[in-house]
Structure formats: structure tokens, C-alpha cells
Structure 1
Amino acid sequence: MNLLNTSFERVSYSVQIKTSLLFECALGIAMITYPKLHDRLEMTRVELDELKTGLSSELKAELDYCQEHNTWKMLLQLLHFKDFSSPLEFYQFLRSLSESELKYYALPFVDIMQENNRLAASKGDKKAENDLVLSCKGHAFFPQMIHFVCSSRQSELLNHLQAILDGWYNEVILPKREWTGGVLERDAREKQRISQLESPHKTVLKAAGIDYKPEQGIADVILIPHVAYRPWTIQADLPAAKVFYYPVSDSSLMKSKDPFEPSGQLVQKLKAIGDEKRLRILKLLVKKELTLKEVTALVGMGKTTVHHHLTLLKAAGLVHVKGSVYKAAGDSMKGIEKEIFTFLHKET
């Protein structure tokens, strides 16, 4: 068959870098209500238990409700409506919405082909609701979340979203607001500098560790740094945009100019390669791109353990992932000897 292709194929995308304590709130809520990952966070079990113990009974009740219905995802969707300057501004926005508007923004974006169903479902159309559910049948929680949003009373949804964000903001964010805000701002500035020097593709790669290539319908990639969910990158979809909530770099966590204190990036690399199992995995990936299943079979370890090692290698910038395929970062180890030499011989 002869084909004359006159379609537009996207070869790039623009990168936006945003930072907000409200996104940090929503991601902290997401983290605390997903216990399956609690053993694979940078936060230790002791730190996690101390955090949970210190929460009020009212916030714990809202978190239980969130865990059952995945309302953290609704918060994230709603927070993308505009750049909110404070929790109060966000609450005022929520209260200004009609019932159908609130449900529309709370329903997950599946893909552009389902936007009519998303809109109709938010207005009470049962067929549209069921069609939307069927379109994401294989998703871990979208079907249940869609039914929950569509069947919820506006007042119940509003009160919960405000209560859980307000509780987490006041009890977890405010006590460390200056430190957390400083870390997020430093990291956003760091990524802005990278974006001015590198292509959008390399900016996403360096920030999120994701080898994200341009795809049809995606004009923008939004990068949002977080502390709460380190070392995980969370991916989400919006109309015409891809979102990566990525872990701040170690260097952003460190404010000290102490000449005897190595850079966070150097320490993270050395920790990542200072383990024989991770070195073995890295060598395998230098030789060939592999899926998690393939790496697991080759190293003879459990899937959860291998995934943990890959996450640490990815956080150090030594491994990239595209879809389900992992590969070694081509230039990740170049210059590490020079980095070590420079640090050791830096004037004090």
C-alpha cells in the first residue's frame, strides 16, 4: 500500500516547572495512605510511625476515608485548575464550583476520547459513567473512584477534601513550612537552570529519571518537585499534558556550604553503587535494556527487592526507565572520579 503521510507528528514538548506546598500536601496524603510502599520509601519505618502517631484523631479518620476512596488523586486533579497561593484560596475555589463542576474536576482524566463521557458523568449520566469505567477497566482504582465521585453528595466531598488538606497542612506542613518550602524552591530553581541548558527531553530525564519521548496530543510536560514521596516519581495525565511529580535531588535537601560536606548527588551515586547487587544490576543494564521481570529472572532475587534496587539506581541518575523497560544512563558514571577528586582536594 502506498501512503502519503500528511499528519503532524510531535517532535518536542514544552516543560513547565511548578512548586507548591499544596501539591506537597496532596502527595504526602497519597504517601501515607498507600501502605504497600511504606517499606520502599526513604522515610524510615520509625519516622513514618512517629509521623502517624502525631496526627490528630480527626485527621486519621479523614486519611482512612482517603485510603478507601483514593481522594488524594481528586486533590491533585483539582490543584491543577490554577496556581493557588494558599489553602484558603483553594477552599474558596472549591466552594465556588457547582456540583457537576466539582465532580468533573475530581473525576480522573482518562484520555481525550473520554472527555465527553467525563463531562456527562459529572452531570449524572449513568451510561456515560459506565462507559468511562469500562474505558479504564484495567486500572488499579479508577473504576471504583469514578463510581464514588459520581454517587457522592457535593457537601460530603467538599467537606472531606477541605478537612484532609487543612489537617495535613496544619499538622504536617506548617511545622516545617520554611524548610520544606526552601527545599522545593531550591530544586525548582535547579531544574529551571537545567531547562535553560538542556532539551526538554533531557530536562525530564535529569529531573524525573524518565525517558519520556514526545507523543501525540501531549504539548506540555509539568514537573513538580516533592519531598514526601522520595524516591518515587508519580506520573499523571491531564488534557494535553503529562505530569511528573518527582523527588527533589539530594543537593536541594542540603543548604550547608561546609567544604567537608560532599554534594548530595555524589553521595547518592556512591551509595547506589556501593552495593554488590545494585552493581550487578547496573552491569546487566549497561549490556542490555531489560524489564523488571527480566532483571528479576537474571539476578535471582524477589521482584520487590529488585524493584527497590532499581528505584535507588534511578534516583541516583544511573538508570532510566521508559514504560516498563529499564536502561543504564549512558553518561551517568562519566566524571565521577573527577567529582570525588574535586571534593577531596577542595580547599577548606
Structure 2
Amino acid sequence: MNLLNTSFERVSYGVQIKTSLLFECALGIAMITYPKLHNQLEMTRAELDELKIRLSSELTAELDYCQEHNTWKMLLQLLHVKDFSSPGEFYQFLKSLSESELKYYALPFVDIMQEKNRLAASKGDREAENDLVLACKGHVFFPQLIHFVCSSKHTELLNHFQALVDGWYNEVILPEKDWTSGVLERDVLEKRSISQLESPHKTVLKAAGIDYKPEQGIADVILIPHVAYRPWTIQADLPAAKVFYYPVSDSSLMKSTDPFEPPGQLVQKLKAIGDEKRLRILKLLVKKELTLKEVTVLVGMGKTTVHHHLTLLKAAGLVHVKGSVYKATGDSIKGIEKEIFTFLHKET
């Protein structure tokens, strides 16, 4: 059979880089309510325990509810509807929505083919709800989330969102608001500078550590920095857009004019390769691309331990992942010697 291909194949995408303390708020809530990753965070277990002790009983109750129903995902969906400057503005927007509108925005985006079912399910169509569940039956929590959203009462959702966001914002975000805002703003400026010099693909790779190639139906990639979930990059889907909530760089965390203070990204790279197990993993990935399972077999370590090492290598920009396959980032490896030389010989 002969084929004349007249279809359009996307060769690039746009990149949006934005930040908000409300996204930081939602990601902090997501982090604290996902205990499976608590041993793989930059925040130590002692720091996590100290944070939990400081939280009010009212906020703790809302977080328990959030953990049971994954309402953090609903929050992130809602925060993408428009830009919000404060929790009050966000809540006023939620109150302006009808019940079906609130549920539509809270329901997860599955794919463009399921948008009719998403809309119908938000209006109480049980058949559409079940079809939406079937479309994502392999997902770890989307089916339960969809049933929860569709069966929830409007006022209960509103009250939960207000109590959850206000509680975390006031008790966790506000005490360090100036510092957190400064870190996020510095990182956005850093990534926008990269985007002016690099292609969208390399911008995403350097920011999020993800080797994301253009795909049909995705016009934009939205990059949103965070502090709370370091060193993890969280991926999400929106209509016509892919979202990466990525960890801020070490250099963004530090605000220093000390010429003897090394760049945070360089320190992160050196720490990553300063461990013999990670260096061994990196050598394997220089030789060939490997899945997590393959790396686990080759190094003879547990899956969780290997994943932790890969996460640190990815956060340092030495490894990137596409789907389930990990690969060494050649440019970053070659550039370490140059970065060290530049720092050591920088005028003071």
C-alpha cells in the first residue's frame, strides 16, 4: 500500500513559565498527604514530623480528608482555570461557579476524546461518569477521584477547599512568604533566561529533567517551580498542554553575593556523583538507556533505593527520563569540568 501523508506533525511546542504561592500551597498539601514519598524528599523525616506537629487540629483534619480523596489533584486542576493572586480571590472564584462547573474543573483531564464525558459527568450523567472511569481504569487513583467528585455535595467541596487552602496558606506559607516568593521568582527568571537561549525542548530538559518531545495535541508546556516537593517533578495533563511542576534549582534557593560561594547547580552535580552507587548507575546510563527495573537488576539494589538515586541524578541534571526509560545527559556531564574551572577562576 502506498501512503501520501498530508497530516501535520508537531515539531515543537510553546513554553510558559509561571509561578504562584497558591501552586506552592497546593503542592505542599500534595506532598504532606502522600506519605509513600516521605523517605525520598529533600525535607528530612524529622523536619516533616516537626511540620506536622505545628499544624492545627482543624488543618490536620482537612489534610486527612485530602489524603483519603486526593483533593490536592482537584486543587491543582482548579488553579489552572485562571491566575489568582490570593486565597481569597481563589475562593471567591469557586463560589461564583455553579455545581456542575466546579465539578467539571475538579474532574481530572483524561484526554481530549473524553471531554464530552467529563462535561456530562459533571452534570450528573452516570453513564458518562462510568465511561470516564473506564477510560482511566489503570490509573492509581483517578477512578476513585472521579466517583468522589461526581457524588460530592457542592457546599462540602467549597468548605473543604476553603479550609484546606486557608489553613495551609496561613500556617505554612505565610511564615516564610518573603523567602519562598524570592526563591520562586529567582527560579522563574533563571528559567526564562534559559528559554531565551535554548529551544523549548532543552528548556524543559534543563528545568524539569524531562526529555519531553513534541506530541500531537500538545501546543504548550507549562513549567511551574516549587520548593515543597523537591527533588520531585510532578507531571500533569491539561487540554492542549502538559504541565511540569519542577523543583527549583539550588542556585535559586541561595541569594548570595559571596564570590567564594559555588553555584548551587554545580554543588548538586558534585554531590550526585560523589556517591559510588550513583556514579556506578551513571556509568551504566552513559553506556545505554535503561528502565528502572533494568538498573535495579544490574546494580543489585532495591527498587526504592535505585529510584531514589535516579531522582537525585535527575535533579542534578545528569540524567533524564522519557516514559520509563532513563538516559545520561551528555551535555551536562561534559560541562562539569568547565563549570568547576569557571568557578575556581572567577574574579573575586
Matched, 1:237 2:237: yes
The unaligned stretches of length 5 or more in structure 2 are none
Residue in 1 that maps onto 2:89: 89
2:69 equivalent in structure 1: 69
Distance 1:304 1:54 in 2: 29
* Larger CA deviation: 332-341 vs 204-213: 332-341
* Secondary structure of the corresponding residue to residue 101 of structure 1: helix
Q: In the alignment, what sits opposite 1:301?
A: 301
Note the C-alpha offset of 1:337.
2.1
Aligned residue in 2 for 1:284: 284
Instruction: Give secondary structure in 2 for the equivalent of 1:129.
Output: helix
Q: What amino acid does structure 1 have at the position aligned with 2:290? A: L
CA distance in 2, matches of 1:347, 1:106: 53
The 3-state SS of whatever aligns with 2:308 is helix
1:259-270 maps to which residues of 2 (within 5 A)? 259-270=259-270
Residues 188-197 or 336-345, more deviating:
336-345
* 1:177 aligned partner: 177
1:160 aligns with 2:157: no
Q: For residue 340 of structure 1, report the CA deviation from its aligned partner.
A: 1.9
| Cα drift, residue 257 of structure 1 | 1.3
Q: Displacement of 1:133 after TM fit?
A: 0.4
CA distance in 2, matches of 1:336, 1:324: 26
Distance in 2 (alpha carbons) for counterparts of 1:339 and 1:218: 34
Query: Aligned to 1:333, what secondary structure does the other structure show?
Result: helix
Partners of 2:152 and 2:97 lie apart in 1 by 15
Partner of 1:215: 215
Matched residue type, 1:71: T
Give, in whole Å, the separation in 2 of the partners of 1:229 and 1:319.
19
Aligned to 1:36: 36
Please report how far the alpha carbon of residue 347 of structure 1 lies from its aligned counterpart in structure 2 after TM superposition.
3.8
* Structure 1 match to 2:310: 310
Which residue type is aligned with residue 162 of structure 1?
A: Q
Give the match for residue 257 of structure 2: 257
Aligned to 2:331, the other structure's residue is in SS state coil
Residue deviations 1:46-105 (CA, integer Å, cap 9, x gap): 111111110000000000000000000000000000111111110110000000000000
State the one-letter code of the partner of 1:313: L
Shift in Å at residue 339 of structure 1? 2.2
The CA deviation at 1:262 is: 0.9
Match in the other structure for 2:53: 53
Matching residue of 2:98:
98
CA root-mean-square deviation:
0.8
Matched residue, 1:110 = 110
Cα drift, residue 334 of structure 1: 1.8
1:333 Cα deviation from its structure 2 partner: 1.8
One-letter code aligned to 1:26 = A
3-state SS, counterpart of residue 225 of structure 1: strand
Q: Distance in 2 between matches of 1:74 and 1:111?
A: 16
Write the distance in 2 (CA, Å) between the matches of 1:318 and 1:341. Answer: 18
Q: Tell me the amino acid that sits aligned with residue 64 of structure 2.
A: D
Per the TM alignment, residue 204 of structure 1 is displaced from its structure 2 partner at its CA by 0.3
Code of the residue aligned with 1:104 in structure 2: it is Y
Structure 1 residue 335: Cα displacement: 3.0
Q: Which residue of 2 aligns with 1:196?
A: 196
Q: Distance in 1 between matches of 2:325 and 2:121?
A: 35
Letter in 1 for 2:257: K
Q: Name the aligned partner's letter for residue 199 of structure 2.
A: S
| CA displacement, residues 256-286 of structure 1 (integer Å, 9 cap, x when unaligned) | 1112211101100000000110000000000
Q: 2 CA distance for matches of 1:147 and 1:196?
A: 43
Q: Give the C-alpha shift of residue 7 in structure 1.
A: 0.9
1:33, distance to aligned residue in structure 2 (A): 0.1
Q: Residue by residue, what CA displacement relative to the aligned partner does 1:10-40 show, whole Å, maximum 9, x if unpaired?
A: 1110000010000000000000000000000
Q: Distance in 2 between matches of 1:285 and 1:125?
A: 49
Count of residues in correspondence between the two structures: 348
Q: Which amino acid aligns with 1:25?
A: C
The CA distance in 1 between the partners of 2:233 and 2:342, in whole Å, is 30
Matched residue, 1:120 = 120
Higher mean displacement: 334-343 or 257-266: 334-343
Tell me the CA shift for residue 345 of structure 1: 3.6
Residue 192 of structure 1: CA displacement? 0.5
List runs of 5+ in structure 1 lacking aligned partners.
Answer: none
Task: Give the letter aligned to residue 137 of structure 2.
Answer: K
Structure 1 residue runs of 4 or more that deviate by more than 6 Å after TM superposition: none
**Partners of 2:185 and 2:335 in 1: how far apart?**
27
The yes-or-no answer on 1:9 pairing with 2:9 is yes
